[in-house]
A and B are shown apart, each in its own frame.
Chain A
Amino acid sequence: MSIVFYILAALTVAGGLAAMLLRNTVHCALALTVAFAGLALLFLNLDAQFAGFAQILVYIGAVAILVVFAILLTRGSETPKEGVYSRSWLAGLAIAAAVFAVLGWAVLQSARVLPHETAVPAVTVQQIGVALVGRYVLPLEIVAVLLTSALIGAVIIAIHEKVGHEKEEHK
């Protein structure tokens, strides 16, 4: 547990907290991006090059932009006067605590499940690629089908809107 890990962990937690506590929605999205960056740096700290860079490429490069676009296209720029709290916050807290407990237990038990791991395994991109199309080809194809269906769904929604608009104009 080196000093670098503590700094990166603090950065990630701070980003996550800020994403929850800030009032301006776009600020929250940008704080979430900081949390993603912290996560990517943690991956790099563990020498998982592919995972770290893919995290930056996918999360910061695409998901963060998607989040800000969604905020812009739905909300506009009104900043709420006070913070937004939901009324069922107690139930939310309980669920979050339960999930945290499960994840924490899984992480702490990993030392017992894999006792012989001493050195960092060197996983090259080629090994990841071979595993993806060899052992894990079925999940890969299922994810591909999922993404394709999401894309087709988005196109269908957009086409319906366009056709709806045109019908209204012609009337």
Chain B
Amino acid sequence: MIDTCDQIFVLLQHWLVSFLPAAWQTAAGVLLSVAAIVCLFPALFALTTVFERKGLARIQNRLGPNRVGPFGFFQPIADGIKSLTKEDIVPLSADAAVHFLAPVLLVVTVFMGFAVLPMGRNMVLVDLDAGLLFYFAMGASSELAVFMAGWSSRNKYSLLGAMRAVAQMISYEVPLLLSSVVVVMITGSLSLTKIVEAQNHYTWGLPHWYIFTPWGFAGFLMYAIATTAETNRSPFDLPEGESELVAGYHTEYSGFKFALFFLGEYVAMFSISGLGTTLFLGGWSAPFSFLTWVPSWIWFFSKLMLSIFVFIWMRGTLPRLRQDQLMNFAWKFVLPMCLLNLMVAGLWRFMGDGWLRWVVCSAILLLAYVGLGLGEMRRQRLGPRSYRYAE
């Protein structure tokens, strides 16, 4: 019974596919899973937009949208109808082909990332040996779409926004990859299913999630910072800051194409949170050994939504970082911490089991954190102000 609940989607897929002749069964099964992903995550996106608006509103001492539907939960339907019925304006001097292709490329690459995420026991679309590498390859391709959008609009603000966005995404890609490489090092495989299975063991009821180890905790923090920057999310949303750049690289998009950019950004958030859950939070494994009766996909999606709530919380709390502050942070703090984390993980692995490795690794990471924080991130000592007047 518990197993049926756990594997209900897999069994459903097998049952539906059994109606077809044997030659078509694998293709039909894959198509069915793809259709499920393409229907589920945009629905989750719609729900997240309401949660975000209401969550941000409550943080800011106001009610969110509450007119459409019970407590405003049908608001995304109204928003969807609005964006579908708006006129699709393409600027006269814009590059029409590239302008059209940019949101398409973004949405395609973002959805491809879901192919390797294990959303439950036996619930991976494609079990690749180099799954993590595939995910990062797709993530890197989405940066090109951002650039295409900004350049094809023939608009100073769009181009500036696109340059800033791409610079930010490239500089935070290095910490993203390095913090994931630690997990790969310890697990010994790039396959995401194997990473989850390595975390699915329990000692005294507590799980072996990587976040509960010193290097995993540091890696998770770096990963969280890098994902916030990769998806252009507050406090790293300078490329689309409304008060600075109108709307950044999607200024010239209206109607459904804008909705596609919005969708692409949120779905990228989902997939990268899903990856973080898989790498550090144990994927579909339950937090305590007495809770394994709850279906695995419920755990995966709860952890995913928890990450989304933390994103929304951060958005409501922190002010935006300036471009140079962003870059300083990436190259002077996050990157050294990631490299140190790699070495600490190696130390962890070769010190053998026991309490000593916990103490040593935690001590090294804490010292590095405090040291780098005091050293690199102190306020700039500004000299006396100098004025230049127009001649």
Q: In the complex the two chains form, is A61's CB within 8 Å of B143's CB?
A: yes
Bound Cα distance from A62 to B166, whole angstroms: 10
Q: In the complex the two chains form, is A125's CB within 8 Å of B141's CB?
A: no
Q: Which residues of B contact A5 (CB under 8 A)?
A: none
Q: In the complex the two chains form, is B144's CB within 8 Å of A65's CB?
A: yes
Interface flags for B78-96 (1: CB within 8 Å of A; 0: not) read 0000000000000000010
- Asked if B147 is at the interface (CB within 8 A of a chain A CB), the reply is yes
Bound Cα distance from A110 to B238, whole angstroms: 53
Interface flags for B309-330 (1: CB within 8 Å of A; 0: not) read 0000000000000000000000
How many of B's residues come within 8 Å of A, CB to CB?
A: 29
B 141-189 contacts with A by CB, 8 A:
141, 143-144, 147-148, 151, 154, 159, 163, 166, 170, 173, 188-189
Contacts A30-B98, A62-B170 given; indicate if A54 touches B133 (C-beta within 8 A).
yes
How many of A's residues come within 8 Å of B, CB to CB?
A: 24
Interface flags for A48-83 (1: CB within 8 Å of B; 0: not) read 011001101100111011001100100001000000
Bound Cα distance from A126 to B130, whole angstroms: 10
- Asked if B260 is at the interface (CB within 8 A of a chain A CB), the reply is no
Q: Which residues of B contact A24 (CB under 8 A)?
A: 95
Contacts A30-B98, A62-B170, A65-B170 given; indicate if A49 touches B140 (C-beta within 8 A).
no
- Asked if A23 is at the interface (CB within 8 A of a chain B CB), the reply is no
CB A140 to nearest CB in B, in angstroms, measures 16
- Asked if B137 is at the interface (CB within 8 A of a chain A CB), the reply is yes
Q: Which residues of B contact A124 (CB under 8 A)?
A: 129
CB A69 to nearest CB in B, in angstroms, measures 8
Q: Closest residue to B170 on the A side, CB-wise?
A: A65
Q: Which residues of A contact B138 (CB under 8 A)?
A: 56
Bound Cα distance from A46 to B133, whole angstroms: 17
Bound Cα distance from A27 to B139, whole angstroms: 22
CB B76 to nearest CB in A, in angstroms, measures 32
Bound Cα distance from A25 to B137, whole angstroms: 25
Bound Cα distance from A69 to B173, whole angstroms: 17
CB B186 to nearest CB in A, in angstroms, measures 14
Bound Cα distance from A33 to B141, whole angstroms: 10
Q: Which residues of A contact B95 (CB under 8 A)?
A: 24, 26-27
A53 CB contact (under 8 Å) in B134, B163, B170, B188: B134
Q: Closest residue to A37 on the B side, CB-wise?
A: B141
B133 CB contact (under 8 Å) in A26, A33, A57, A126: A57
Bound Cα distance from A72 to B141, whole angstroms: 19
Q: Which residues of A contact B163 (CB under 8 A)?
A: 69, 72
Q: In the complex the two chains form, is B130's CB within 8 Å of A49's CB?
A: yes
Q: Which residues of B contact A169 (CB under 8 A)?
A: 388
Q: In the complex the two chains form, is B151's CB within 8 Å of A68's CB?
A: yes
Q: Closest residue to A55 on the B side, CB-wise?
A: B137
Q: Which residues of A contact B151 (CB under 8 A)?
A: 26, 68, 72
Q: In the complex the two chains form, is A49's CB within 8 Å of B137's CB?
A: no
Q: In the complex the two chains form, is B137's CB within 8 Å of A125's CB?
A: no
Bound Cα distance from A72 to B189, whole angstroms: 40
Contacts A26-B98, A30-B98, A53-B137 given; indicate if A64 touches B144 (C-beta within 8 A).
yes
Bound Cα distance from A96 to B74, whole angstroms: 62
Q: In the complex the two chains form, is B141's CB within 8 Å of A53's CB?
A: no
Q: Known pairs A33-B144, A69-B166. 18 more at Cβ < 8 A?
A: A49-B129, A49-B133, A49-B134, A50-B130, A50-B133, A56-B138, A56-B140, A57-B133, A57-B136, A57-B137, A61-B141, A62-B140, A64-B144, A65-B144, A65-B147, A65-B166, A125-B133, A169-B388
Q: Which 8 A-B pairs have the closest CB atoms?
A: A61-B140, A56-B137, A57-B137, A53-B133, A49-B130, A53-B137, A53-B134, A57-B140
A: residues with CB less than 8 A from B are 24, 26-27, 30, 33, 49-50, 53-54, 56-57, 60-62, 64-65, 68-69, 72, 77, 124-126, 169
Can you report 21 residue pairs joining A to B where beta carbons are below 8 Å apart?
A26-B151, A27-B98, A49-B128, A49-B134, A50-B133, A53-B133, A53-B136, A53-B137, A56-B141, A57-B140, A61-B137, A61-B143, A61-B173, A62-B140, A62-B170, A65-B143, A68-B147, A72-B151, A72-B159, A124-B129, A125-B133
